Amino acid sequence: MMLKKLNYIIVAAAAICFAFGWMRHAGVEKLSISANHRYFVTADQKPFFWLGDTGWLLLSKLNREDAEKYLEIRRQQGFNVIQVMVIHDIKETNAYGDSALTNVDISRPKVTEGSDAANAAQYDYWDHVDWIVDRAAAKGLYMALVPVWGSVVKSKAGVTSEKAKAYASFLVNRYKNRSNIIWMNGGDIAGSDSMQVWKTIGNVLRAEDGNHLITYHPRGRTQSSKWFHNEDWLDFNCFQSGHRTYKQDTSAKDLKYGEDNWRYVQDDYNKQPIKPTLDVEPSYERIPHGLHDIKQPRWTAADVRRYAYWSVFAGGCGYTYGNNDVMQMHKPTDKKSAYGSKNYWYKSINDPGALQMKHIKKLMLSRSYFDRVPDQSLIAGGQGKRYNYLVATRGEKYAFVYTYNGRNMSISTATLPGSKIKVSWFNPRTGTYTATTVRTKTSIMNFDPPGEVANGNDWVLVLDAV
């Protein structure tokens, strides 16, 4: 009883801090699609580079104190989008034991009178979601909400199109006036599986909420465009490139791209009508190769950097990072964990890969943004395969070329204006540049990155026209 009262005191104090914090923050701006249909922009037409984190079980597993801690750390680390499941299980309850639904019926969200955080009888599952969404807004964070995870719909939980329509309408009317919402339909499932449910949810979101962007989170190694590219409700595409290695990617049904997540971007980039695309679930830091065999090696910071630069330079409008321990909010009170998670979320939240993600956002926003295009014609000496692959992107007066292993590269400078070029190397591990040199431009120029050739010795060649 004493602990419960203490928790309410903490909640009340947080609510007061939130109230004052909300007055200091005007909230976040509405996002929309850029004029060239490739990127996101804020209400004042400034570029928005999506840097996401998969905080999938944030709403159900963390109490207010821990949710505040998680959001603040990710804000400080430069993230600006948090991907979460609203309902991960048809019997979903949160950290306070509050049920999301009445009688496990997706069309009957369990809502109580009032929303007083100090009164357990009033503060329900949805009040907790409200609190977290609003705390995120105060910190400048967008919430990409997955209404109901794919496994719930695929199971025998009775999620019919009619019930999905009622549930989606409830969500829209509860959150359509909050500026930091992004709708992420689906949830790790093929669009062809229960397609009518996903179309119903998408159509309700679009019809009843014209203020927020909508996308679809597909199953592994597929992209939303496979099923929904021409749907009016789909504003942008996303894909899930994780979690298999080249050797493990043997699916007979889906594209065999292995770890080459840049290939999904190329597919989406050439589709009509033009829509932005990004990798919203690459392989996670600390998760086993292939997910299920915990004896397999784990993905590292170097891997998540590679996925980031490969996909963004190929034309992606952003990137989502993931961490095995954080995505499931693994904590000491859990009776079990998934995918061999051994660390707790509050320790792994500061893993190297997470700390390095802000550097790609910094780089992409350091030059002109909306004129940037992928351009493999810059690479004159062979693009390479797998870990030798070079990927290039450029604007009108600059070019970036990424190498995962620091190998030599031959670059064509024909698309860059001027007779001289400023040359430097950007370090994805530290976010720093080497000293800049100025060279006379020739048609083909050779460059040797710092260090010895080795996987994880990744660099970005930065060329600025003089």
The DSSP code sequence of 31-73 is: PEE-TTSSSEE-TTS-EE-EEEEE-TTHHHH--HHHHHHHHHH
The mean of the pLDDT values for the chain is 93
Residue 399 CA to residue 396 CA, distance in Å, equals: 8
In this structure, the strands spanning 214-217 and 181-186 are parallel
> Is there a single domain that holds both residue 433 and residue 342?
no
Look up the domain containing 408 and give its range.
375-465
pLDDT in tens, 129-173: 999 999 999 999 999 999 999 999 999 899 999 999 999 999 999
pLDDT in tens, 207-244: 999 999 999 999 999 999 999 999 999 999 999 999 99
User: Which domain-ending residue is among 298, 332, 364?
Assistant: 364
In a domain, 266, yes or no: yes
Look at 350 and 18; give whichever has higher pLDDT: 350
Rounded to two decimals, what is the model's pTM? 0.93
pLDDT confidence of residue 277: 98
Closest residue by Cα to residue 75 from 53, 54, 95, 59: 53
pLDDT in tens, 165-201: 999 999 999 999 999 999 999 999 999 999 999 999 9
Neighbours of 384 (CB within 10 A): 16
Is residue 13 pLDDT above 50, yes or no? no
Average the pLDDT over 51-59 and give the result: 98
Six-digit token string for 231: 């749907």
> Is there a single domain that holds both residue 79 and residue 211?
yes
Residues 6+ apart with CB under 8 A from 284: 54, 242, 243, 299, 304, 322, 323, 324, 327
Structural domains of the chain, count? 2
pLDDT in tens, 297-349: 999 999 999 999 999 999 999 999 999 999 999 999 999 999 999 999 999 99
Average the pLDDT over 418-445 and give the result: 96
In a domain, 443, yes or no: yes
> Is there a single domain that holds both residue 230 and residue 124?
yes
* CATH number assigned to the domain comprising residue 421: 2.60.40
| Percent of the chain topping pLDDT 70 | 94
pLDDT in tens, 79-136: 999 999 999 999 999 999 999 999 999 999 999 998 887 788 889 999 999 999 999 9
> Is there a single domain that holds both residue 360 and residue 388?
no
Please give the helix or strand (H or E) that residue 146 lies within, else none.
Answer: strand 142-146
Classify 10 as helix, strand or coil. helix
Average the pLDDT over 380-408 and give the result: 96
